[in-house]
């Protein structure tokens, strides 16, 4: 006799000591049942789909990895072009199949290395590129006609892509032969990552000009990588990442069509970029759902079947990596890589285990790269197309994710499209709320992170980390920049920059085309960016803080309410709430941690001032004095802490404000703690710190400071 789900439920309840198995609620609000059966697959139209055919749920290629495995990439940039070039060449020799460039934050924001705003950012978290000369060194000995190059660049996309094109020409590779991808996804920057330069409208014009130029001149080059990665890293749920990424893509297609382009002339060179976190099956289902929805979107534009194909690069999560017990990160990355492969990615970057602490060492990068080589050669996953096809659970997740994401996309459409939604701030608010909710779950222990809030080691051993001498790198960059400026034809350079500025102001002509002329005349990245800034102005975001999410998550938690009462009593005695300013110093726009802290501390009872992004230490010090704060909390994720935090302490002292307590948090190696404390930083809250513990610690510091007056 055939057994039914009810028979299973009776047996499972009996085995579970009389308690019926219950659904698991994911962060996306999707109820995951403990059992899936054939009945869950009824009325799913995508099940009859085969790989290589629209809507491509089972893969964009008919043979997938049985014909050719995914491309192994390693996203990296180390201080100088020389150091990065050495790493790339070694990695390519060891099995890496393409180059993925990480730029430093000064470059991302369109500043040359000699700009006073970037003293702590040059060569940190990526490679410094100031001109074509740096770009030529970056790819020295790497044949651009044979090697695919991926560049994560959005704000300064025009000068970087122009410099790359000229470097290729001077290496003997025509622009038509260049292959690779430029990220060029500015809408995502306004939502989460914040390495924008110009306001949304002219930024969208830049996107369209790049799509147009590459479609005509660079047929092997992907003009855009529409990125959900940074959304998930900023705290987005998988539904939000999926919905807002595809909504961004739809907006980019619209601006290209509005420029007079035929959809099939450029759609084949659009690519995507997704994060892969620890929800193993849902991440695989997300990639399948993305292909399903993108085919639907492109069909509405009248695109051919080939143009309905979504191709994607994936990167394992950086946020899932932990400072505590860091070798666990090797395991996390391996699971995430397997999930991306089972979801059908076209290329993959695996993060190194030490990236929650510092830039990866060569040792850790080799482990990350070998993770993919083992997947390709030892696990058998490349022998079958879409191994998860037909899974009751995975197919149901695929459909649920598609349905829920489509609802959010329709909401964006009701506002007037993604540009309007970004200007309104809707996606940013939603993602910040999700991030705060997720952190509250971790702090409460509802979400288990092994080695962080459960099974934690009593003592942590230090690991070897990569240290970058920021001062030496900046000095080297400035010297080469000065040589380049002396050796170029000043009149030709000035004329090219003026022509670029005039073209940008007029709204006519192609910005990238004019920038290539300027780069060839050895205009620097900063000079090209400045020419566009004269025409477009520099965008400045208004900081805001989500409220109520942390308080709602904690509800009647005794520990939380005890701390709230303590702050209430303190405020009564002091006559005002304790004031905390959350500061982002330098060009680091990653503000997830800062926003979570601001939101949580505000709910607990602090008065929180959200500092502006991209402040110098002097600006942050003056702002703290103006707001009469008790504490400045500086969030650091980009390795500039050893330069910027001592400068902040010095600026406060210079202004007679030593009474303001300086604390910091974020990606700071334990080896640097003593260095910072010796220079006036009162406390350091590293990755994985419980927010309630941090709030108590900050209050202790304020009380101690006031009692010593």
pLDDT one-digit tens code per residue, 610-625: 888 899 999 999 999 9
Q: Report the chain's mean pLDDT, rounded to a whole number.
A: 91
**Confidence grade of residue 27 (pLDDT, cut at 50, 70, 90):** confident
Window from 143-152, 481-490, 579-588, 632-641 with minimum mean pLDDT: 632-641
Which pLDDT does position 565 carry in this prediction? Answer: 92
Window from 320-329, 462-471, 649-658 with minimum mean pLDDT: 462-471
CB-based contacts of 191, cutoff 8 Å, min separation 6 = 231, 234, 244, 422, 427, 428, 431
pTM: 0.89
Q: Can the peptide bond before residue 704 be classed as cis, meaning omega within 30 degrees of 0?
A: no
Window from 222-231, 235-244, 347-356 with minimum mean pLDDT: 347-356
Task: Say yes or no to pLDDT of 409 above 80.
Answer: yes
- Decide if 281 contacts 394 (C-beta within 8 A): yes
User: What does the block give as tokens for 332?
Assistant: 């996390």
Burial class (CB in 10 A: 0-12, 13-18, 19+), 178: buried
Which pLDDT does position 473 carry in this prediction? Answer: 87
Please tell me which residue, 151 or 43, carries the higher pLDDT value.
151
- Count of beta carbons in the 10 Å neighbourhood of residue 5: 14
Task: Say yes or no to pLDDT of 153 above 90.
Answer: yes
Specify the DSSP element, H or E, that contains 665. Answer: strand 661-666
| Mean predicted confidence (pLDDT) in 71-75 | 80
pLDDT one-digit tens code per residue, 446-465: 899 998 888 988 877 777 76
Which pLDDT does position 78 carry in this prediction? Answer: 67
Distance of alpha carbon 635 from alpha carbon 639, whole angstroms:
11
CB-based contacts of 40, cutoff 8 Å, min separation 6 = 392, 395, 396
| Mean predicted confidence (pLDDT) in 154-178 | 97
Which pLDDT does position 579 carry in this prediction? Answer: 93
- Count of beta carbons in the 10 Å neighbourhood of residue 491: 9
Distance of alpha carbon 568 from alpha carbon 604, whole angstroms:
9
Task: Say yes or no to pLDDT of 638 above 70.
Answer: no
CA distances from 530 to 113, 497, 524, 534, 537 (A): 14, 9, 10, 6, 9
Task: Say yes or no to pLDDT of 77 above 70.
Answer: no
pLDDT one-digit tens code per residue, 100-150: 898 999 999 999 999 999 988 898 778 999 999 999 999 999 999 999 998
**Confidence grade of residue 76 (pLDDT, cut at 50, 70, 90):** low
- Decide if 345 contacts 320 (C-beta within 8 A): no
Q: Which residue has the tokens 């855009």?
A: 224
Which pLDDT does position 126 carry in this prediction? Answer: 87
Which pLDDT does position 687 carry in this prediction? Answer: 75
| DSSP E strand stretches across 137-292 | 149-151, 180-182, 221-222, 224-227, 270-276
pLDDT one-digit tens code per residue, 561-600: 899 999 999 899 888 899 999 999 988 888 888 888 888 8
CB-based contacts of 364, cutoff 8 Å, min separation 6 = 352, 353, 354, 355
| Residues marked as catalytic | 75, 229-230, 584, 588, 590
């Amino acid at each position: 006799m055939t057994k039914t789900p009810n028979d299973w439920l009776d047996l499972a309840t009996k085995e579970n000591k009389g308690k019926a198995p219950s659904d698991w609620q994911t962060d996306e609000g999707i109820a995951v049942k403990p059992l899936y059966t054939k009945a869950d697959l009824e009325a799913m139209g995508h099940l009859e789909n085969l790989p290589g055919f629209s809507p491509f749920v089972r893969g964009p290629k008919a043979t997938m990895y049985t014909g050719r495995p995914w491309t192994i990439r390693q996203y990296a940039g180390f201080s100088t072009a020389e150091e990065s070039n050495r790493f790339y060449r070694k990695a390519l020799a060891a099995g890496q199949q393409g180059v993925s460039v990480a730029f430093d934050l000064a470059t991302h924001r369109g500043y040359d290395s000699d700009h006073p705003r970037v003293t702590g950012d040059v060569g940190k978290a990526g490679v410094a590129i100031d001109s074509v000369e740096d770009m030529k060194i970056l790819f020295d000995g790497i044949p651009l006609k044979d090697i695919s190059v991926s560049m994560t660049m959005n704000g300064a996309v025009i000068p970087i892509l122009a410099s790359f094109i000229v470097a290729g020409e001077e290496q003997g590779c025509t622009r038509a032969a260049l292959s690779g991808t430029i990220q060029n996804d500015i809408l995502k920057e306004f939502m989460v990552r914040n390495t924008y330069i110009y306001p949304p409208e002219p930024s969208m014009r830049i996107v369209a000009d790049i799509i147009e130029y590459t479609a005509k001149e660079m047929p092997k080059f992907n003009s855009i990588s529409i990125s959900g990665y940074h959304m998930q890293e900023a705290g987005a749920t998988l539904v939000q990442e999926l919905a807002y990424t595809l909504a961004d893509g739809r907006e980019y297609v619209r601006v290209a069509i509005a420029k007079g382009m035929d959809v099939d002339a450029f759609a084949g060179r659009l690519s995507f970029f997704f994060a892969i976190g620890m929800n193993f099956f849902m991440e695989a289902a997300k990639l399948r759902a993305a292909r399903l929805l993108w085919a639907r979107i492109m069909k509405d534009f009248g695109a051919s079947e080939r143009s309905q194909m979504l191709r994607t690069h994936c990167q394992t999560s950086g946020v899932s990596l932990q400072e505590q017990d860091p070798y666990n990160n090797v395991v996390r990355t391996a699971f995430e890589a397997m999930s991306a492969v089972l979801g059908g990615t076209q290329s993959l970057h695996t993060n190194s285990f030490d990236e929650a602490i510092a830039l990866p060492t060569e040792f850790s990068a080799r482990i990350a790269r070998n993770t993919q080589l083992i997947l390709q050669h030892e696990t058998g996953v490349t022998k079958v197309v879409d191994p998860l096809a037909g899974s009751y659970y995975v197919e149901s997740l695929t459909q649920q994710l598609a349905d829920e994401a489509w609802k959010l996309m329709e909401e964006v459409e009701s506002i007037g499209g993604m540009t309007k939604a970004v200007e309104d701030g809707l996606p940013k608010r939603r993602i910040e709320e999700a991030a705060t909710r997720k952190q509250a779950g971790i702090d409460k222990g509802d979400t288990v992170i092994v080695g962080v809030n459960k099974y934690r080691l009593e003592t942590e051993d230090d690991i070897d980390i990569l240290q970058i001498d920021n001062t030496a790198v900046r000095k080297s960059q400035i010297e080469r920049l000065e040589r380049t400026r002396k050796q170029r034809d000043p009149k030709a350079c000035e004329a090219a920059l003026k022509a670029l500025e005039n073209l940008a102001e007029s709204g006519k002509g192609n910005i990238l085309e004019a920038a290539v002329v300027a780069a060839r005349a050895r205009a620097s990245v900063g000079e090209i960016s400045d020419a566009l800034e004269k025409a477009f102005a520099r965008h400045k975001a208004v900081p805001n803080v989500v409220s109520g999410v942390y308080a709602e998550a904690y509800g009647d938690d005794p520990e939380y309410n005890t701390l709230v009462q303590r702050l209430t009593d303190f405020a009564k005695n002091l006559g005002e709430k304790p004031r905390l300013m959350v500061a982002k110093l330098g060009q680091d726009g990653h503000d997830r941690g800062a926003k979570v802290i601001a939101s949580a501390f505000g709910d607990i009872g602090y008065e929180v001032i959200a500092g502006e992004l991209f402040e110098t230490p002097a600006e942050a010090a003056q702002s703290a004095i103006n707001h009469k704060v008790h504490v400045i909390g500086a969030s650091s994720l980009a390795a500039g802490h050893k330069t910027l935090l001592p400068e902040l302490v010095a600026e406060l002292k210079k202004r007679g404000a030593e009474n303001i307590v300086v604390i910091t948090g974020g990606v700071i190696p334990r080896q640097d703690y003593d260095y910072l404390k010796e220079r006036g930083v009162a406390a350091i809250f590293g990755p994985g710190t419980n927010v309630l513990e941090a709030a108590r610690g900050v209050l202790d510091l304020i009380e101690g400071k006031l009692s010593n007056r």
